[in-house]
Structure 1
Amino acid sequence: MAHVSTMIADDIEQYLSTHQTKGLLRFITCGSVDDGKSTLIGRLLYESKMLFEDQLSQLEADSKKVGTQGGDLDFALLVDGLTAEREQGITIDVAYRFFSTEKRKFIVADTPGHEQYTRNMVTGASTADVAIILIDARKGVLTQTRRHSYLVSLIGIRRIVVAINKLDMVDYAQDVFDRIEAEYREFARQIGLENIVCIPMSALRGDNVTGPSANTPWYQGSALMEYLETVPIEDDAQRSGPFRLPVQWVNRPHLNFRGYAGNIVSGDIRRGERIRVLPSGKESRVASIITATGECDSAACGQSVTLTLEDEIDVSRGDVIARTDAPPAVADQFEATLVWMSDEPMLPGRPYLLKIGTRLVGATGAQPKYKINVNTLEHLAARTLDLNEIGVCNLSLDQPIAFDTYAENRDTGGFIVIDRLTNNTVGAGMLHFALRRSQNVHWQAIDVDRAAHAALKGQTPRIAWFTGLSGAGKSTIANLVEKKLHALGKHTYLLDGDNVRHGLNKDLGFSEADRVENIRRVAEVARLMTDAGLITLVSFISPFRAERNMARALAGAGVFVEIFVDTPIDVAEQRDPKGLYKKARRGELKNFTGIDSPYEPPEQPEIRIDTTTDSPEQAAERVVAYLLGDGNPH
């Protein structure tokens, strides 16, 4: 019995060792709705013996219950796990599955076919080496086929399998296959896809899935599984690329050790080689390379390592370590392609977070240069990007980053966009190139700075930002504050929402995008005024927290004072000095705050004024006391 147990343990150890050394291929299936993507993946799982007996029994029972395949196994049921998917017969979310053969391990993403799930498809494609694009032989190349092919080319997948599926429904006709192949290759040429293999197939019947089919004697190419087992893995290109190690963690277990840990995303490194840390540009040599199994002389793409350096230089999480002979570029402004993934539109000028590699920075986008109709590849004018839309725009970051173009390296050229308030991922993008002005335009050092201006005026520069609904009383209180400060000999300026729209912002309307740009411009002007040593009063509805937070960040620590003029909407509507609420109620004013556009009240304002209990005079006294530092705002 002990001998048998030893044999079993040896077999398990040998199996695990063999499995661990297999290469890993990631691929996606995509195409039009009901082209057979889920059925194909289910067939691959079935043929690779990756199903447990209870799963197989459940599949047989579910197939009989559904009854859509005439008594045959309905392999799509293995993958369509969501109730909504089974009810509609479509894929909604990205379903990831793992299977293996004797030659290779696989992770496959079954991506949705509907246009409204473009973001899901992009998510599934972002890490794939190969794309399998299914085409229903009865329908040929459709709009969704073109859309997904374009997205695949955009993401950077260069190896394409065109699975012309359901040939059993057209009697395995070669002329049908040849016609669809010719049409697809012509379209692929227009979008730069070249490495294409077309396979005639029936995923349901198993034709040319795991082996050659007697039903297609006219096809001499490989079956799908043979192709997947032998195709070169896309990572090979990055393995031979320049060395890149985004620093994930600065490892300091004790005072005598400092290492820089991360995953090598391209190239290789050897002990003793000279390196450069970006964006700082500091240089040193590799003293040691440490992996999970101990020290080694070299490491390559895909390995997680800790590097120690010969010199003590400043290295932080988010920095990129490269060899000095081929460093990445450094910039803070870029052109990029952006895929928008949020129900809330991308608004030019709104501050977001951008994560590239291991670095997290602040970012704002300009108005898109154009958005792309992924069905026709047409470039369309756009002011914003909505859910599932793709556009090209310029990005400005709040600090320089090390980067490669996305075409050169997906890891150091691809990024995600994060909402500052919710921390949700709202977009994904690919860097094209750094803008020339990121190297050519620099902040000019000025000797007479904010402190010098403030000293001459004998005051502390502040931005007093009054926010609240229309009719809340912001302008009335701000005007009183300025009169009191002026009487005390203080140097001030009042920026009022209506007045600014007569000049600086007269080109802006009241859409959400225009409102964001309105506040961005005013925040920049207010910051310049504080540099001049002024106490600047800003009276704007400024309905969105993100823009008020952006203004606070621009102003700098201790400068920005948020004053929430808190008035219930029914009270503001009763006052209605300009008749705006009545117009909005009649539908004559669109995007009016509090009626058909939201107002996001401050969560922690420095001063909150309740206009149902405080008079404008009392409110002004509180604000002046706070600004001059001799009173309690609350």
Structure 2
Amino acid sequence: MTTATATAIAEYLRQHETKSLLRFITCGSVDDGKSTLIGRLLHDTRLLFDDQLAALQSDSRRHGTQGDAVDYALLVDGLAAEREQGITIDVAYRFFSTDKRKFIVADCPGHEQYTRNMATGASTAEVAVVLVDARKGLLTQTRRHSYIVSLLGIRHVVLAVNKMDLVGYDQGVFDGIVEGYRTLAAQLGIEQVQAIPLSALNGDNLLLRSDATPWYDGPSLLAHLETVEASRDNRDIGFRLPVQWVNRPHQDFRGFAGTVVAGSIEPGEEVVVLPSGRRSKVARIVTDAGDLTAANAGQAVTLTLADELDVSRGDVIATAARPPQVADQFAAHLLWMGEHALLPGRPYWLKLGARTVSATVTEIKHKVDVNTQAHLAAKHLELNEVGYCNLGLDQPIAFEAYADNRELGGFILIDRQSNATVAAGTLDFALRRAGNIHWQHVDVDKAARARSKHQAPRCVWFTGLSGAGKSAIANLVDKRLHALGHHAFVLDGDNVRHGLNKDLGFTDEDRVENIRRVAEVARLMTEAGLIVLVSFISPFRAERRMARELFGQGEFIEVFVDTPLEVAEQRDVKGLYAKARAGQIPNFTGIDSPYEKPESAELVLDTVNTSAEALAERVVALVLGDGPAA
């Protein structure tokens, strides 16, 4: 190799390393040509190896939709199910490069049921290419994807009006679609829209301007992507480093590793650790290549501090002069991704960066009609619905509004039973009242009240079908404890609905709130030193777990009154099952609303083969610590 050749190669590599990187997505309704567009881009920019091109030609003959011609969509529709159905299911990421820029493109599915996948692709993108079939115009999924694009902070959109060849490259069709989309973009706060008429299949206006659209004087798609300034840099909010790992290789070194998500820092600068609020100064900025004199946004570093502070994974190290807020209640936008509806009051895990806390949606302020952007009243959110909600956490976290910093303002919700991600959200602002509420100290505490009653406080939670015998057994337990000189109280489902919960019905949402309120009352009663006997159907495991977590170790005793449905129906002294079977009582547990049996109750009572009196004695023995659980 000659010196000149080596120099040319080195210069080429240097230029390639310094080229900017643009992340963009293709989205829109199903069959608008997203995969074809990306496949044609890869093909026409000559980024396919010979074996890839041969495989594409072979696959086109087997699975293609273009007859004898190449089906470019097959380059990104990699799943067997995608090729069989001719649709995109998962997000397909592809890298390509031109002389001016490097690109990572995410091909997002168009089907409504895969909206969650589209949100995943959009979460890291800087530009969205929204495809519209020129024959169909703006569809519901076009509007839904555009709303999500706006929600996730993408302000630069390419409106790719595709399949213009199928409408004879009619400028009137193009102009009508553009006018409608610009109105939508203005409603959503999308700042920049570049509309381009395309035929992805034929390559019109893809790499170069096409003679088929002489009336269009804008850039080609690739030319626009090569030049668009679409940085999503965070606003100037100051230094922020979420701690991902406490680095302690030996006893003489303790550092806090993470990626700087905003601002810059130098050794000697004062920082604050949140949510604790403890302050120190940066001693060193450590990397595998040696210490740095400064760390900037995007760099992965390890900080050491001048003082020994308790810093854990999920904490945020920030500039002391301009720290982020700390709160435990928020207003937030939420895209629901779960198969089962979001129910306010049900506990989930909230994961923001490296921090995971328990969270509940305390209120759904409204949901959004993706067609009109209208705000609609809602008690729950179904799959792919978007809502504006209030969130409550079990502990405060450091955060930024998503508009200021997506790393500290974007979160997911996780189902606590299945560990599945059920929602993606963006924090809007803290509910200020949360920081003004503090626990008021009382001198006579739970332990003192329990000593005066000569008993250990307990919450005995009876759960089972209607007619199982919960109330009867709880009443016998109450009588026995009273006879023994103990202080107990029964919270019965029917009785509570006459007062505290008289405003609640029997929908899933109301059942969740019903249990939440009763659990809080029961907790207060144990604070008073009482033994509380809670007799509620409480059909959902998630809410029973929520109730359990309000109590200390050993204070909560779950008693499953295990009575088969047919036996409960035979007892049916209130005639409820008969009315439910006749359709007169909707949402009746065991008939048209599910009952989830406990998986690890402290006590299981068989009411078919054992008398209520004998079962009550077993409960009393367990509560007083005189007998086994089974």
Quote the residue 1:146 is aligned against: 143
Q: How many residues align?
A: 630
Corresponding position: 1:80 with 2:62? no
Q: Residues 288-307 of structure 1 correspond to what in structure 2 (within 5 A)?
A: 288-307=284-303
Give the Cα–Cα distance (whole angstroms) in 2 for the partners of residues 14 and 612 of structure 1. Answer: 84
Corresponding position: 1:123 with 2:120? yes
Alpha-carbon deviation of 1:24? 2.6
Corresponding position: 1:57 with 2:50? no
Alpha-carbon deviation of 1:590? 2.3
Corresponding position: 1:573 with 2:569? yes
Q: Residues 33-72 of structure 1 correspond to what in structure 2 (within 5 A)?
A: 33-65=30-62, 68-69=65-66, 71-72=68-69
Q: Check conservation: 1:28, 1:128, Cα contact below 8 A.
A: yes
Q: Check conservation: 2:63, 2:83, Cα contact below 8 A.
A: no
Q: Residues 152-551 of structure 1 correspond to what in structure 2 (within 5 A)?
A: 152-237=149-234, 240-551=236-547
Give the Cα–Cα distance (whole angstroms) in 2 for the partners of residues 514 and 9 of structure 1. Answer: 73
Q: Counterpart amino acid of 1:261?
A: A
Give the Cα–Cα distance (whole angstroms) in 1 for the partners of residues 47 and 515 of structure 2. Answer: 57
Give the TM-score, by structure 1 length.
0.94
Alpha-carbon deviation of 1:498? 1.3
Alpha-carbon deviation of 1:16? 6.8
Task: Identify which of 104, 109, 113 aligns with 2:110.
Answer: 113
5+ unaligned residues in a row in structure 2: which ranges?
A: none
SS in 2 for 1:520: helix
Q: Counterpart amino acid of 1:47?
A: D
Identity of aligned residues (%): 66
Give the Cα–Cα distance (whole angstroms) in 1 for the partners of residues 46 and 462 of structure 2. Answer: 67
Q: Check conservation: 1:367, 1:382, Cα contact below 8 A.
A: no
Q: Check conservation: 2:101, 2:226, Cα contact below 8 A.
A: yes
Q: Check conservation: 2:523, 2:550, Cα contact below 8 A.
A: yes
Give the Cα–Cα distance (whole angstroms) in 2 for the partners of residues 9 and 489 of structure 1. Answer: 94
Give the Cα–Cα distance (whole angstroms) in 2 for the partners of residues 447 and 355 of structure 1. Answer: 36
With over 3 angstroms needed to count, the CA separation of the structure-2 counterparts of 1:616 and 1:530, relative to structure 1, is same
With over 3 angstroms needed to count, the CA separation of the structure-2 counterparts of 1:157 and 1:67, relative to structure 1, is closer
Corresponding position: 1:616 with 2:612? yes
Larger mean CA deviation between 372-381 and 202-211 belongs to 202-211
Q: Check conservation: 2:488, 2:530, Cα contact below 8 A.
A: yes
Give the Cα–Cα distance (whole angstroms) in 2 for the partners of residues 390 and 72 of structure 1. Answer: 41
Give the Cα–Cα distance (whole angstroms) in 1 for the partners of residues 36 and 136 of structure 2. Answer: 17
SS in 2 for 1:297: coil
Alpha-carbon deviation of 1:166? 2.0
5+ unaligned residues in a row in structure 1: which ranges?
A: none
- Aligned-residue RMSD, C-alpha: 2.3
Give the Cα–Cα distance (whole angstroms) in 2 for the partners of residues 214 and 371 of structure 1. Answer: 45
Alpha-carbon deviation of 1:15? 7.2
With over 3 angstroms needed to count, the CA separation of the structure-2 counterparts of 1:532 and 1:204, relative to structure 1, is same
Give the Cα–Cα distance (whole angstroms) in 1 for the partners of residues 262 and 232 of structure 2. Answer: 8
Alpha-carbon deviation of 1:185? 1.9
Alpha-carbon deviation of 1:351? 0.8
Give the Cα–Cα distance (whole angstroms) in 1 for the partners of residues 155 and 548 of structure 2. Answer: 45
Give the Cα–Cα distance (whole angstroms) in 2 for the partners of residues 416 and 20 of structure 1. Answer: 33
Q: Counterpart amino acid of 2:74?
A: L
Give the Cα–Cα distance (whole angstroms) in 2 for the partners of residues 488 and 316 of structure 1. Answer: 49
With over 3 angstroms needed to count, the CA separation of the structure-2 counterparts of 1:97 and 1:419, relative to structure 1, is same
Q: Structure 1 residue runs of 4+, over 6 Å off? A: 6-17
Alpha-carbon deviation of 1:320? 0.8
Give the Cα–Cα distance (whole angstroms) in 2 for the partners of residues 311 and 12 of structure 1. Answer: 49
Q: Counterpart amino acid of 1:141?
A: L
Q: Deviations over 1:99-149 (max 9, x none)?
A: 223333322122222333332222221111100011223333333333322
SS in 2 for 1:411: coil
Give the Cα–Cα distance (whole angstroms) in 2 for the partners of residues 69 and 122 of structure 1. Answer: 30
Alpha-carbon deviation of 1:94? 2.3
Q: Counterpart amino acid of 1:279?
A: P
Q: Check conservation: 2:63, 2:84, Cα contact below 8 A.
A: no
With over 3 angstroms needed to count, the CA separation of the structure-2 counterparts of 1:265 and 1:504, relative to structure 1, is same
Alpha-carbon deviation of 1:8? 11
